[in-house]
């Protein structure tokens, strides 16, 4: 990799990536509505080279490669994510900090599913992606915490499990850092993108109820908090955790209302 400025995020995602890789089939299922959305964006025009930013284990990269026949590159800062992505083939996967990496080709489409909210300097990062692009940008990001009750529940449960852990900075890099459309428009404009459109997208993400515990144990703030607990206590803690999510379980299905933005833009 050329250089890296988001080293704290790299460390965090490299650890978190082990859980994501472990649960990649469940994540793939839960986030499939947003994979479909980005595939739809990709299919709007012929594509030759597509870049997937913060590609994680590469589900969207592969889906777009299949749907468009374009040559696809996934970039991610975490090696643990990329090891899982590479195991599937179908695309090239590069370990780099997308904020500063010197991409060596022009991409006619840059996409991301929840992978562009973790930059220390979002304007610099989107300007760097603008340099790598000759066409369009399309990404999905979360709206606010208040509109995403599953994420709020997860954060509250994690805070109860690990009360001494430092609270995440609400204004720093994180899942909701692009929740404000005016901020997103300003960042992308300063970064050299034009025709910015921010469209609300609401989907219900689902998984079979018996996958909820493996999902929570591997993903997000709950898994992070559980890692802090002594191993022998994790089973009983998980029983309490599972109960906190009862409201999302309908018979044998978990339903997660997901409130997001689809953000699109193009090079001038
Ligand atoms: C929420 S995950 C999304 C993963 C994937 N796009 C998906 O939908 O399954 C965010 C991803 O962004 C990556 N990431 C965070 N900061 C990054 C950076 N500066 N450069 C490249 N990737 C980054 C993380 O390693 C992680 O894989």
Residue nearest to atom 4 of ligand 1 (CA): 56
Residue nearest to atom 6 of ligand 1 (CA): 55
Residue nearest to atom 2 of ligand 1 (CA): 115
Q: To the nearest whole percent, how much of the chain has pLDDT over 90?
A: 73
- Closest ligand 1 atom, residue 81 Cα: 27
| pLDDT number for residue 1 | 45
Joined tokens for residue 18 = 């082990």
* Mean pLDDT along residues 69-91: 93
Q: To the nearest whole percent, how much of the chain has pLDDT over 70?
A: 99
Number of Cβ within a 10 Å radius of residue 119: 26
213 domain-assigned: no
* Mean pLDDT along residues 76-90: 92
Ligand 1 lining (C-beta closer than 6 Å): 6, 9, 13, 27, 31, 54-56, 59-60, 75-78, 81, 97-99, 113-115, 118-119
Residue nearest to atom 10 of ligand 1 (CA): 115
- Closest ligand 1 atom, residue 175 Cα: 1
**Average model confidence (pLDDT) across the chain:** 93
CA of 110 to the centre of ligand 1 (A): 14
CA of 116 to the centre of ligand 1 (A): 7
Return the best residue to mutate from 6, 117, 118, 129 for the ligand 1 pocket (most ligand atoms within 8 A of CB).
Answer: 118
* Mean pLDDT along residues 157-179: 84
93 domain-assigned: yes
pLDDT value at 53 more than 90: yes
CA of 75 to the centre of ligand 1 (A): 8
User: Contacts by 118-121 with C-beta closer than 8 Å and gap 24+?
Assistant: 118/6, 118/9, 118/13, 118/54, 118/173, 118/174, 118/177, 119/6, 119/173, 120/5, 120/6, 120/9, 120/173, 121/5
248 domain-assigned: no
| CATH classification at residue 71 | 3.40.50.150
- Closest ligand 1 atom, residue 112 Cα: 6
Domain range spanning residue 24?
Answer: 7-147+169-208+257-266
| Residue tagged 């409201």 (tokens) | 247
155 domain-assigned: no
Poorest-pLDDT segment among 20-29, 44-53, 108-117, 139-148: 20-29
CA of 254 to the centre of ligand 1 (A): 24
227 domain-assigned: no
221 domain-assigned: no
Give per-residue pLDDT as tens, 228-238: 788 888 888 88
Do residues 138 and 109 touch, judged by C-beta distance below 8 A? yes
Give per-residue pLDDT as tens, 170-179: 778 999 999 9
- Structural domains in the chain (count): 1
pTM of the predicted structure, to 2 decimals: 0.95
CA of 140 to the centre of ligand 1 (A): 12
- Closest ligand 1 atom, residue 31 Cα: 8
Please, which residues have CB within 8 angstroms of residue 210's CB and are 6 or more apart in sequence? Answer: 252
74 domain-assigned: yes
Q: For residue 141, what are the β-bridge partners?
A: 261
pLDDT value at 11 more than 90: no
CA of 54 to the centre of ligand 1 (A): 3
| pLDDT number for residue 2 | 53
CA of 50 to the centre of ligand 1 (A): 16
164 domain-assigned: no
């Amino acid at each position: 990799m050329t250089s890296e400025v988001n080293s704290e995020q790299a460390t965090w995602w490299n650890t978190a990536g082990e859980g994501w890789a472990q649960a990649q089939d469940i994540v793939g299922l839960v986030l499939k509505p947003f994979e479909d959305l980005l595939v739809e964006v990709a299919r709007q025009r012929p594509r030759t080279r597509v870049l997937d930013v913060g590609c994680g284990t590469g589900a969207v990269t592969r889906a777009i490669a299949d749907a468009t026949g374009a040559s696809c590159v996934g970039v991610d800062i975490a090696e643990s994510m990329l090891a899982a992505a590479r195991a599937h083939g179908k695309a090239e996967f590069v370990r780099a900090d997308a904020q500063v990496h010197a991409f060596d080709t022009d991409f006619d489409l840059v996409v991301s599913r929840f992978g562009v909210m973790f930059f220390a300097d979002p304007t610099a990062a989107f300007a760097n992606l603008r340099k790598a692009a000759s066409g369009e940008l399309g990404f999905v990001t979360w709206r606010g915490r208040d509109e995403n009750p599953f994420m709020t529940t997860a954060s509250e449960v994690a805070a109860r499990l690990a009360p001494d852990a430092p609270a995440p900075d609400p204004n720093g890099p994180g899942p909701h850092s692009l929740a404000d459309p005016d901020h997103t428009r300003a960042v992308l404009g300063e970064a050299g993108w034009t025709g910015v459109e921010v469209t609300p997208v609401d989907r219900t993400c689902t998984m079979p109820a018996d996958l909820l515990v493996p999902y929570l144990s591997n993903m997000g703030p709950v898994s992070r908090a559980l890692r802090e607990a002594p191993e022998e206590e994790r089973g009983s803690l998980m029983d309490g955790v599972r109960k906190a999510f009862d409201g999302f379980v309908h018979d044998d299905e978990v339903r997660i209302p997901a409130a997001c933005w689809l953000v699109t833009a193009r090079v001038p």
